[in-house]
Every structure is written in C-alpha cells, then in structure tokens.
Structure 1
Amino acid sequence: MSLSRREMVAGLGALVTPFAVPRAVAPPPAPAGEPPAVPAGVAPERLARDEDFWRSVARQYRVSADFVNLENGYYGIMPEPVRRAYHRNTDHLNERNSHLLRTAYKAQAEQARQRLAAVLGVRAEEIALTRGGTEALQLLIAGYRRLRPGDAVMYADLDYHSGQYAMNWLRDRRGARVERLVIPEPATRQAVLDAYAAALREHPRVRLLLLSHMNNRTGLVTPVREIVAMARERGADVIVDAAHSWGHLDFTMGDLGADFAVFSLHKWMGVPLGAGFLYVREGRLADIDPAFCDETYPGGDIRSRVHAGTMDVAPVLTVGTALDFHEALGGAVKQARLRFLRDRWVHQVLDVPNVEILTPEEPAMYGTITAFRITGRTSEADNVAITTELMERYRIFTVRRGGPARGDCVRVTPALFTSRDEVDLLAAAVGDLARRTGA
C-alpha cells in the first residue's frame, strides 16, 4: 500500500533521528487566481524566508499531494492564471481555426516577442520564437556558418546532451574537429575559469563554444561573461544555453555579453510546453544560415532562422500572462526564494558522511538545481536505485543524471510552490540514505 505525502512526512521521524522532521506537509488550498503582492521595501533575501508569503504563492499551483515533487527542472508547471489562460487560448484557437492563424495571430505573436525582448533587455528584432530551447539550440549550432575544415568546436561534459549531439554533427556537416572539456570537481568559480582558459589555450582552432549558463545535470552556474570574453579574444564565438537560467536567475542579456543564446519558456517562466526562443545580437545574423533556405521571411529577418511549420500557437498566445506572473513576483524575488530552498536542504547534509554536493557554495554559482552523490554510488544503476528509494520510501520524486566525469548523481529541483518543510524532509531522507547505503 502506498502512503500519501502527509502520512510519509508524519512517519519519517521514526526512521531518521538526527534531523528535525516536519510533522506534516499538507497540500495547498485550492488555487486562487491572482499572484500575491510582493511587500514593498522587503529585501528579496528576507522575503525568501517568509513561509506565509510563499504559501500564498503555492496556492497558485495545482500540485499532486501524492508525493513531493523535487524534479521541476524538466518542466516548470503553469501557475493557475497561466493554466486558465492557456485553456482559453486553446479553446479560442480550436474555435477560430485557420481564421485566427491567418489574421490576428501574427500580431499577437509579435506582441509576445516584444514582451520577451523587453524582459531580456534586447530588441525584438534580435529574437525569434521557437518550439523550445532545444530547437533553438539545434538551429543556432546547425546554422553557424563560420566554420572551415580543420576548425574546432568545443563543449563541456556538463552541457546539455542535445547540444552535444548537435556539436558532434558538425564533424560531418562542417568538417570541424570536436573537442570536449571536463568541468572540475569541486567546481569553484576560479577552477571553472581556469578549465576554460586552459582548454581554449590548448585548442587554438576552436571557433565555436557551447556554454551552459546553468547546466541541467548539476545546476552549476558558470561565469558566462568572463568565459565569453576569453573566447572572443581567441577568435571563438559562444552559444549560451540559458534554458535553465532565464526566469530562475535574475539577469538580462547584457549581463552575459554573448552574441548568440537560447532560452526555454516552459521551465522557469511557466509558459505551456512548446515555447522558447533564440537570440542573435544585431550585426551577427549573417553568421547563421536561414533554416532550410526558408523564404517566408527575408534574409535580414531573424525569423528566417526558424521554420517550424504549423505549430501549436496556444503557448505563444499565453506568453503575456506568464510574463505578468513572473513580473508580479520579480526576478530577484524568485531567485532569492529558489536559492533559499537549495541552501535549506544542502546545509543540513553538508557534513553528513558519504554525501557529496556537486554544486559549490559560492552564491553566484548556483540557483535551486543541485545534484548530490552518495560516495561510491557512481553508476547509472546506483543512482536510479537511489531515486527509486527516495520515491518509494519517502515519497520524494527526483531524477538520476549522468554526465559528470566522476560519475552519476541525483538531481534535486525545488520550485516556487515547494515549502521549507518539504526540503527539510529531503534533507532527512538523504541523511538516512547516506548512513544506510553509503560506501
């Protein structure tokens, strides 16, 4: 018989004694319809610890009470105002059919593009909507036209697998060599900078570098601006993968300094599945091929670099409502809360024997995504077993991730609806697992 989340939390105290385990975690009340007002004059770091305020945020989400969802990196669910708008937009699309697509939609899509550009701090003419961050990444990599036979491209072990595959494809497509660097463990800011500097120095023919702002394996946040600058000095362009960082960390495009970047909208901006966009700095568009020689838009229009056919436009129609919710909270407030949740559980297990935290303690190097490893448990099977036990024994949902050079790990991703008690439960469970199953 499976236990509910409430029963699981209430009973865990009998299993784990060194941790303060919450008495119960009840599902939030039925969602309301408006985002809560952020109190004026309260610093984001202070508001991040206000559980009453964040309970009011959690009421904006429909979340299953059957388990604690700490795997929110794959898909960031819509808050209620966005979910309702998406349903209205889906119904409207179905009712109006081709008439909507051939008339009002183009202006509405342009309005969404204008809103996105304003939040990112760029011109609308520098971004093009896609069906997600992966499509945007593949289009920029495949379309990059400055490579010559004998040139090299480079990515790191922690970069997104679909981006790695697309870079590998350039070996046959463009005749490029493919170089790979390993992010050091422990991944301090200086160690990461040194690793990229050494890799670029050792491979002077690198002309294109894939760089994750926040990677999807361990959650490490790289010092993008500095790495972009060192690559530029050596004649290399950088495509920044910001799929996991935008809407999660508080930044604009100017903070990254890159000429090319990709973004997802269904992770931390709460847009329905099926939306993202790519960015090309003004003056660099000629270095990206039009998608499949598409002629729908003129060559000087960035939208010629994307061709998706007839797509589900309801997510695009919902972008404005999602940005309203994001801006009601504010990027700085979201970032502070997400980092607080990470710190809350990580700091309870830092000194637990056999627990390895793969993201550093330097604040600029992480958000809420964090990976842990139990010493000696480095295989895929080991970490699948850990995630299975977390779910079956503690009703906590996480995911195993591969890619780090020292072995597989478990990724933990809280969300805005996650409570302090829920990450306390995770800390207790991880400590219990480490004592029972560590090397």
Structure 2
Amino acid sequence: MESQESELIAPPEKSDPRGLASNENYWRKVARQYSVDPDFVNLEAGYFGLMARPILREYTRRIEALNASNSHYMRTHLEADYEAVRERVARLLRVSPEEIAFTRNATEALQHLIGNYKNIKAGDTVLYADLDYPDIQQVMNWLQSRRGAVVAKFDLPEPATRQAVLDAYERALAKHPQTKLLLVTHMSNRTGLVPPTKDIVAMARARGVDVVVDAAHSWAHLDWGVPDLGCDFAGFNLHKWLGAPLGAGFMYIRKERLDDIDIDYADDEFPPTDIRSRIHMGTWNVAVLNTIPTALDFHLTIGARNKDARLRYLRDRWALRAPEVGPFEVLTPNEPGAYGAITSFRMTGKVAPADNKAIAKWLMDRHRIFTVAREGVANGACVRVTPALYNTVDQVDALVDALRELGRNGLPT
C-alpha cells in the first residue's frame, strides 16, 4: 500500500520544479495524502506540520509496537535504530552523523546550545534581532543573570531587502564590539523573512563572533544543507516541514566545536566526545524517532526542490496580490531566496496586537480561513499566513477575495 502511495505522489518524469509548482493535477494527488479538517481552510501551517497518511499510519504502528515490547526494545534495539535514523538525517544535511543529536524540538536544541555555550564571560555581549523567536530571545536574556552577559537587541528593517538586512547586522555588530554570541534565525516565525544567513555567519566570524542558527522553520521547507549556512551550531525541527510526529528535532554542532558546548548537567551516559552528552532527554517517545524515516521517504519522493517551489508558488499567489486589493503591507520581501511559505501582512496603520487579532478572527469567522496574529515585530503586530502542501490554489485565492472585502469595507465595528 505504501509503495503504491509513493507512486501516486512521485512527480512526473523530467518535470522541473518551477513548472511542477503550478501543476494542480499533481498537487491534488499530494493533497489527498493528508486528512485535513474540512470545516475551515488551514493557512496556519507554521505551528507544526500535519503528518501525511503514510506517516500517521507508521507512527501508529510504531506506538503499538513500542507499547507491546516495552523496555526490551529500548534496551536491545534502540541504539541501532537511533544510529540508522541519525545517518539518514545527516546525509540530507550533508554533515557527519556524530555532529547531530536528536531532541524533542528546535527550542530544546537551542536552549542547550545557548545555555551551555562555554565562551561567555561577564561583560561579553550577546546579540539578537526583533524577528528572532521569543523563547530563544529569553534564553539569550538568561545569559545576563547566569553569566553576567550584556544583552543587546536590534530591529530588522521594513521593508526588508537582502542588502538592508546585511547592513542592519553589520551596524549592530559594529555598535556592540564586545559581542561574543549572535542568534540568527534562518526563517522568522514572525514574518517568514529568510536573511542571507551564510553571509551573516561569515561577517560575524570575521569579528570573532560565534553564531547559533535557529533553523526551526527552514529545513525540509527550503532546499538546503548545513554547508549552505557555514554555521557551527544550529537547532532544527522535524515536526514542522518534514511532517514527522510532534516531538522531533535535533541539534547540530560542528565536530571541531564540540568542546565549546558544555556537557549537559555533568552527564556521564555518553563520553565527552559524543554530542549526545550535550542533551539528556531521559525516557522519550522513540516511536517518534522511528517514524522519521517514513517522513523522509515522503519528503524525498516529492523532492526538496519541488516542495520548495510549490510552497513559494502558493505564497506568491496571495502575497503579490494583497497590496493590489487593499491597504495591505506585506512584510516579507519578494526577493528570491528571502522567503518561503511563511509570510505576514498588516493593514496600513493597524499595528496594535488587538487589531491583528481582530483581522485573524474576522478571516476565520466570516470566511473560515485560519491564520494567526503575531507580535514582537518592531514596527507593529501582523497576521501570519502559512500555506502547506495540502492547500489548493482555490483556497489561496479565497484569501485574496477575503482581503479584497476587508480592504473595501474595513473591519466591522
């Protein structure tokens, strides 16, 4: 059955990603692999990814098997399965398996990378931007009370361009010459901005600044591997755009830099030379781990470049038209390489969180289109729109029609 489903979602031979992105016959076959609530249009895929049916079936099977075998599996087979899955993920990332360790999510990975980073002393600066994930901003702030670090924050420009973002990082680093650690988010959960991360990492390294990359949203969403970023430390999710079960993430530490991340709570289960000594999870749901290969198979059958192109195509279909149908500001740039599926907008002058929550509520109540309001952007709150592979062009067009009505009539009072 699963092989037949793989055949169904395999792209037509010799199709190029750009042409395939608008092939609705093909993407309808992909969409049918998902069980989606028909009561509303889900344009909020940024929280976590739906499991496609083959993945959900495998996860259910793995849970049942784990429940039946209990600790016998954990004590006799888990290590070999862990290594096999780690090898597959590492191969796609173009890194060594010993450079990654599984976690429950990117937040957990980043908490350990930042919290256990050894090279902060009192008076050193840690630096981040307004579009970085709030929970990870909090970890950077924690370094002030625990390590005596100086915390600095700066704002990324609107409208953003590749050069403007680079200039903002350069100014921030110049303003804070004592910076030792910089947080860079490869795809912002607030606006979807994809900054020129490799160039920022190189800029920081030239100043003696280490960079931790938050890749929670970008891997298996955009088509890239770790060498494309040039970073030494990063945190990832597998339950967002790969579509693995909830509770799947991992950390990356370049092997030459392992000693710069402290052992987690003096962990001695693994030797200091093993990255797994940097994250101790206790007993965890290894059915999640064992479902990752099926999620990888589904992802690879579609193709990373094809998936990337389709997500951008769905995004462009509404984001390029929104400013034409009403007083809407699209916060994510249209520059190639600067965005994926996630994109946020606001109505001109509507910068308060309450305004944007009201817009998201209106879209849901009147048009059954689910989006989410986001706060923390320096220039004001916004509404985030995130299509996924199960969305159709008709659903995205419905959002444009709704925005046209909103722009014409405004929110009801």
Q: TM-score range by the shorter chain?
A: over 0.9
Say whether 1:361 aligns with 2:334: yes
Say whether 1:99 aligns with 2:76: no
Question: Would the aligned equivalents of 2:6 and 2:301 in 1 still touch at CA under 8 Å?
Answer: no
* Alpha-carbon separation, structure 1, partners of 2:129 and 2:231: 17
Say whether 1:315 aligns with 2:295: no
Indicate the residue corresponding to 2:160 in structure 1: 187
Say whether 1:401 aligns with 2:374: yes
Q: What is the identity, as a one-letter code, of the residue corresponding to 1:395?
A: R
* Alpha-carbon separation, structure 2, partners of 1:436 and 1:195: 37
Question: Would the aligned equivalents of 2:362 and 2:411 in 1 still touch at CA under 8 Å?
Answer: no
Indicate the residue corresponding to 2:401 in structure 1: 428
Question: Would the aligned equivalents of 1:170 and 1:176 in 2 still touch at CA under 8 Å?
Answer: yes
* Alpha-carbon separation, structure 2, partners of 1:59 and 1:352: 31
Say whether 1:231 aligns with 2:204: yes
- Tell me the number of residue pairs that the alignment of Structure 1 and Structure 2 aligns: 409
Q: Which whole-Å deviations, capped at 9, do the CAs of 1:311-360 have from their partners, x for residues lacking one?
A: 11111010111001111111100000000000011122222341000001
Q: What is the identity, as a one-letter code, of the residue corresponding to 1:127?
A: I
Say whether 1:163 aligns with 2:139: no
Say whether 1:269 aligns with 2:242: yes
* Alpha-carbon separation, structure 1, partners of 2:98 and 2:5: 36
* Alpha-carbon separation, structure 1, partners of 2:129 and 2:69: 46
Equivalent residues in 2 for 1:28-427, closer than 5 Å: 36-427=9-400
* Alpha-carbon separation, structure 1, partners of 2:408 and 2:261: 52
TM-score, scaled to structure 2: 0.97
* 3-state secondary structure, aligned to 1:364: coil
Shift of 1:438: 7.2
Shift of 1:234: 0.6
Question: Would the aligned equivalents of 1:375 and 1:438 in 2 still touch at CA under 8 Å?
Answer: no
Gaps of 5+ in 1: 1-30
Question: Would the aligned equivalents of 2:132 and 2:188 in 1 still touch at CA under 8 Å?
Answer: yes
* Alpha-carbon separation, structure 1, partners of 2:8 and 2:302: 8
* Alpha-carbon separation, structure 2, partners of 1:207 and 1:358: 30
TM-score, scaled to structure 1: 0.92
Q: What is the identity, as a one-letter code, of the residue corresponding to 1:391?
A: M
Shift of 1:32: 5.4
Q: What is the identity, as a one-letter code, of the residue corresponding to 1:134?
A: T
Q: What is the identity, as a one-letter code, of the residue corresponding to 2:282?
A: G
Identity across aligned pairs (percent)? 56
RMSD of aligned alpha carbons: 1.3
Q: Which whole-Å deviations, capped at 9, do the CAs of 1:223-250 have from their partners, x for residues lacking one?
A: 0000000000111000001110000000
Question: Would the aligned equivalents of 1:78 and 1:270 in 2 still touch at CA under 8 Å?
Answer: yes
* 3-state secondary structure, aligned to 1:71: coil
Shift of 1:35: 5.2
Residues 300 and 403 of structure 1, relative CA distance in 2, 3 Å threshold: same
Indicate the residue corresponding to 1:6 in structure 2: none
Deviating 4+ runs (over 3 angstroms): 31-35
Q: What is the identity, as a one-letter code, of the residue corresponding to 2:338?
A: M
* Alpha-carbon separation, structure 2, partners of 1:426 and 1:262: 32
* 3-state secondary structure, aligned to 1:283: helix
